Every structure is written in C-alpha cells, then in structure tokens.
Structure 1
Amino acid sequence: MAGYVDWEFAKTTGRTLVPAGPAIGPDEAAAEVEAIREAARAAYGPVAETSRLSTPPDSPEAIVVDRPTWISMNADSMQALLDPAIDDMIAAKGHSEPNALVAAIGGKVTGAEVGGLLAFMAGKVLGQYDLAPGGTPQLMLVAPNLVQVQRELDVDAADFRAWVCMHEETHRVQFTAVPWLRDHLVSEARRLVVDLAPDPDRVTELARDIVQRLPEVFGEGGTGIADLFTTPEQRAQVANLTAVMSLLEGHADVVMDDVGPAHIPSVATIRARFNERRKGAGAADRLLRRLLGLEAKMRQYRDGAVFVRGVQESVGVEGFNAVWTSPETLPLAAEITDPQAWVRRVHE
C-alpha cells in the first residue's frame, strides 16, 4: 500500500513543515511535561465521578508529546486505518494496481499532502485519544500547544492544564469504559472510505460539479470540501458518524465544565477566553479551517454539549449513560439537535 501513500514521506514532510513551538528552556520544558502528566493523573477521579464511567486500572496512562511525535503517531494510525480500506476499495470498485513508476510518484504526492495536513493540525491539537487501529490506543497531550494556548489566553497555567486534561481524560474514559466503541468507529470510518471513493468514470463530472458548487464550501452551513465529492446518501452516512463524534466531543466538554468549579478556580475565565479564541482566527486560518471541515468540528462541540445536557436534564446522568449500551443506542444525526427524540427512542 506504500504505492498509494508514502507514509514515511508524509512523516518527513510534516516534521519539516510544522511550526516551531513556543520559546521555552529545557528545564522549564521538563517541568511543564511533568506538570501535564500530573494534571492528567489528577483528572482520573473527578472525571470518573462526574461521568459515572470508570477506566480499567490496566489502561495506559496519558503520554506527553511534542509536535513531531504527534505527527508520526497520527501518520501510523492513518496508515493502519486507511490501508485495509484502500484494499477493500480496490476490490469493490475494480480499480487496477498502478505500475511501479506511477505508484512511486503518486505515493510521494499523497504523502506530501498528508504531511502538510498533519503539520497544520499538529500546531492546533491540545490533546487526542489515538484509536491506533491494530495497535495500542493512547491518550496524547501535546505539550507545546498547551503552553502556547495558555500564554495566548493569559490564564493560570495550572488551571488550564487541569481543564484540558479533564476534557481529554473524558475521551480516555469513553473508549476504555465502553470497549466496543473503538472498533465500531474504526469499522465505520473504513466503510465510509470505501463508499466515498469516486468511480473513475465520474471524475470529469465531479470536476464540473466542484467548480459549480465551490461557493458552498465558504457558506456558513458548509461542512468542508468533502461536501463537493459526496451524494446526498453519502452525506447522510457521514452525518450519522458525525453525530457520534458530536456526542464524544460534547460529552467531554460537559464533563470538563461540570468538574471545573470544584477543582479549577478560574474555569469560567478559561472557558470564556477559549471560546473567544475560537472566533478570533485570522482570515487565512478561517478559510483553511472551513475547507478542512474544522468549522464543522466546532459545531460538534456545541451541538454535542446541547445534546448531552438536554438528555441529562430529562433522564439524569445514568439515563444518559444508556447511550454507551451498543451502537444502536448512539444518537442519530437528527437526534443530536433533538435530545428528546433520542430519549423517546431509547427510554420509552
């Protein structure tokens, strides 16, 4: 599969293009890494108590990484996720294998594209639960980004570390306390890769549609450039997977803010400034975010949090936790913005 994406070249490209982190001396950096580790450990109890979900004791602890390491780990996970899907896509759509020269050139091109995307994201992500298909799932906290954002917001460093770790620890709890969830998301993502791949015979038609529909990407309701390549049926599939992602992100936001007042004195200030920061990106950054669908991700946090709070107000935290019973109890796309519809389907 290296003929389709040169993953090592993607890593090299990403590490070359990623911006340097904030200026910080070696001693201060070591102290920051240890402080982040301690904040991650301190989040275990409050998150478990608030979410009423428990991580098994043998689950790996969070690791603290720099931007190049984040790029390498994500490239490995993307490879593990996509290579089987590409095999299935070739089999399903009858594509032929490229010759060696085409494969080598194409692999470098796609590797460069992936590396550029990873370089952009590596400067944005504060933390991530890496599903690591075929490997060991791991919670990562990106130290330079935590330092940079804390400085930009001008908030208490210890409180900010704790606040971010509450959110990310919630993701670790979601996937370790609900063991079927990881395999479900990986299989759904692979299935979508196969389903969304365009038929070669439609490439010309797609190119014409892209020119006609490009303004949709820049509209407030657009979800990113992927909209230009998908049919209504495919967008419905994406919407249901997006609903699950909204659930995960919204649940983490609700837990982090519910835990906050008792453990993070300046949580209200952090939340207010963090939300303002999301609005304040420059024009070029906003354009790239919209093209990549990151603006839609911001809506995931908002819609998911509204869903979680709406369900909890109706049936409490234990009633909400029925969402983790099976894939059939996950919210559908229409239910994310209508929590009572989910309550009626699952509880009545």
Structure 2
Amino acid sequence: MNLYRSARAVAGASGDDVIDWESAADAAKAVTDPGSLELEAGEREAYARDVREARDAVRTVANVEFDVPDTVEIQNRHHWIDANIATFERVMETLEQQVPPGTFPGVARTINTGTMTVLLAFLGRNVLGQYDPLLLAETPEDDHALYFVRPNILSAADKLNVDPDRFRRWIAFHEVTHAAEFGAAPWLSDHLESRMEAGIATLTEGSFDRAAFRDLDAAMTVVEGYAELLMDHAFDDEYADLRRKLDARRQGRGPLQQLFRRLLGLGLKERQYERGKNFFETVVESADLETASVVWEGPAQLPTQDELDDPTLWLQRVDR
C-alpha cells in the first residue's frame, strides 16, 4: 500500500465534476493490495463450470430461460475497482446533470473524491462476487457482467475455515440467481434506473422523493429475497454453515469496519435479504414456487412495503 501516493491523488483532484473519478480510482488502488491472479491448474475451468452448472440448475428450478454473460471475469481487487468506478460515475451523472457547472469548488471536489476513495477501497477488499446488470449503461451491448474477486474469495474461505472450492461454488450460485432474475424480468433494469434517477434528481432540488426510494428498497428486497429462494432450491449442497460463518464474520468486525458498513448501506442490504427471504418463504409455504415467480411479470406485481411485511396481502392482490 502507498498512502502517500493515495493522498497525493486525492489532493490533486481536478475538473468540473462532483468527483474526480480518475483520481479516486488511482487513490483507492494505491491503498489496496491487488491480490494474486496466479490461477492454479484447472482453476479457470472450475469457475466456468460452477457458473454453467449454476445456470442449468437455476433454469430448471425457476423454469425461466436466461443466460449468463459471455465472459465471466476472474478479477483482482484493482480490476474490481476499475469495473465499478464506471458504475458509480453513471449513477452520479444524474446528480451532476442537475447541478450548474462550477457549483463545486475545489475543496468540495477533493472531499468528495476522498470519500469515494475510501468507499472503493473498502468494497474492493471485501466484495466476493458480483452480478452487475450495468444499470444506466449507454450502449446496448453493455447488458450485464459477472465478476469474481479471487483474492477476496480465497481470503474469506481461509478466515472462515471452509473449503475454497465449495465456497467459490456457493458464491457462483448466488450471483447466477441474480442473472436469472434480470433474465426473467427484462423490465427490471429500467424500473430500478427510473426509481434511482427520480430519487437522485429530487435530492439535488433539496427535497426527498420518499416514494421513489421506498419503491427502490422494495424492488431490491425482492431481488435479494428471491435469490435466496432460488439458492435454497438450486444449490446442490447444504450451505447453512457458510451463511452462518459469513454472518458471524460480519458481526465480529471492529468498530471502524462496522461504521463503514453502515455508511455504505450494507446493513440495509442485509435487512433486505432477511425481509425478502421471509416474504418468499411465506409465499412458497402458502402457495408454491411458481406463484413466487409472479413478482417478475411486471412492476405492478412487485410487493409494496406493506405486502413485504404481510405476504398474504400480496397473495390476495395477485389472486393466488
């Protein structure tokens, strides 16, 4: 790690944008060990095999036709930072379009760039795998991507004292379930984008579009919960111990790491996972897996906040 080079990159932030994205990426990589990408014999094929078998299993369980990205990327931490800074930039562009040029003085840009540096560095050291629907992408061919951060997977498996091959396979199944969701619901990307853009646009006006953010939270709760539902039915091994150990590791982190998790909204994601999982478990117990898949028929079929807490209301509304 090179703290001096990171600080120099942040201090040299320039341009007219809210954040100097190139400086943020350089600074984040300067304080993040990239990790090794020296793959062992057969390891690349093992990643590809896990993804193929996860795709086939989820297709069978969900009864939906979808595919995974043509290229599955095995990344180090620096690769992940480079891939995701483009996503952050697209999201922030909505905010920047609402702000007159020159609104952000140099000191504000430096602070924003430093904040983004901390965020990217923390996530770059902790993300294991990622299905990226590439929200707000400008070109049609940039439809989705699948990343595995190999150094983080190996590090987490070692710290959790679990078999790295089994752990990698579990991560692959989880990310492929997200690919299935976006494949089952071609409208989902547009829905998430519109809610995100509406919420950000009102923030620049000094107001807060509560409905937009509630809709976004409900949709993401469904995404996380349905993924776990498919995992329960598609994964060809027990994984309760993996989930338990991973949750215990998160809870056991120090105060600074816990603060980062709250600031980054990772606690919200865990709440979405638990709430979504409970919703779909109730739906399947009351009806079946096919009924649970009704959520992907269109935005109108997504559960409301009240229905997430009381799935019987949703079942009554969709007449199941």
TM-score range, shorter chain: 0.7 to 0.9
1:146 corresponds to: 153
Question: Which one of 1, 11, 20 corresponds to residue 6 of structure 1?
Answer: 20
Residue 56 (structure 1) shift: 4.3
TM-score calculated relative to the size of structure 2: 0.85
Q: Distance in 1 between matches of 2:115 and 2:43?
A: 32
**Does 1:26 pair with 2:38?**
yes
CA shift digits 1:145-180 (9 cap, x unpaired) = 111111111112222111111110011111123211
Residue 73 (structure 1) shift: 1.2
Q: Distance in 1 between matches of 2:113 and 2:170?
A: 35
Identity %: 32
1:16 corresponds to: 30
Distance 1:332 1:287, change over 3 A: same
The aligned amino acid for 1:173 is: A
Q: Distance in 1 between matches of 2:82 and 2:317?
A: 42
Preserved contact between residue 3 and residue 103 of structure 1 (Cα < 8 Å)? no
- The 5 A counterparts of 1:160-179 are 160-179=167-186
2:11 corresponds to: none
Q: Distance in 2 between matches of 1:98 and 1:44?
A: 48
Preserved contact between residue 335 and residue 342 of structure 1 (Cα < 8 Å)? yes
Is there any run of 5+ residues in structure 1 with no aligned partner, and where?
Answer: 91-95, 200-229
**Does 1:304 pair with 2:276?**
yes
The aligned amino acid for 1:16 is: A
CA shift digits 1:58-117 (9 cap, x unpaired) = x53432211111111111112223214431x33xxxxx3217xx5555444322321221
Distance 1:32 1:235, change over 3 A: farther
The aligned amino acid for 2:24 is: A
Residue 193 (structure 1) shift: 0.7
Is there any run of 5+ residues in structure 2 with no aligned partner, and where?
Answer: 1-14
Preserved contact between residue 55 and residue 67 of structure 2 (Cα < 8 Å)? no
1:253 corresponds to: 228
Q: Distance in 2 between matches of 1:314 and 1:27?
A: 46
- RMSD (CA atoms): 2.4
Preserved contact between residue 47 and residue 259 of structure 1 (Cα < 8 Å)? yes
- The 5 A counterparts of 1:77-96 are 77-87=87-97, 89-90=98-99, 96=100
2:198 corresponds to: 191
Q: Distance in 2 between matches of 1:177 and 1:34?
A: 27
- The 5 A counterparts of 1:219-234 are 234=209
2:316 corresponds to: 344
2:62 corresponds to: 51
Q: Distance in 2 between matches of 1:139 and 1:116?
A: 24
Q: Distance in 2 between matches of 1:111 and 1:31?
A: 40
Q: Distance in 2 between matches of 1:56 and 1:148?
A: 29
The aligned amino acid for 2:225 is: G
Q: Distance in 2 between matches of 1:27 and 1:249?
A: 30
2:47 corresponds to: 36
Question: What is the total number of aligned residue pairs between the two structures?
Answer: 301
Q: Distance in 2 between matches of 1:8 and 1:317?
A: 45
The aligned amino acid for 1:328 is: A
Residue 34 (structure 1) shift: 4.0
The aligned amino acid for 2:22 is: E
Structure (1 or 2) with the greater helix fraction: 1
Distance 1:86 1:162, change over 3 A: same
Q: Secondary structure at the match of 1:63?
A: strand
Question: Which one of 117, 120, 123 corresponds to residue 119 of structure 2?
Answer: 117
Q: Distance in 2 between matches of 1:235 and 1:32?
A: 46
Q: Secondary structure at the match of 2:17?
A: coil
Q: Secondary structure at the match of 2:70?
A: coil
Q: Distance in 2 between matches of 1:50 and 1:148?
A: 31
Q: Distance in 2 between matches of 1:180 and 1:240?
A: 15
The aligned amino acid for 2:87 is: S
Distance 1:134 1:113, change over 3 A: same
Preserved contact between residue 55 and residue 173 of structure 1 (Cα < 8 Å)? yes
The aligned amino acid for 1:134 is: E
Question: Which one of 244, 249, 267 corresponds to residue 295 of structure 1?
Answer: 267
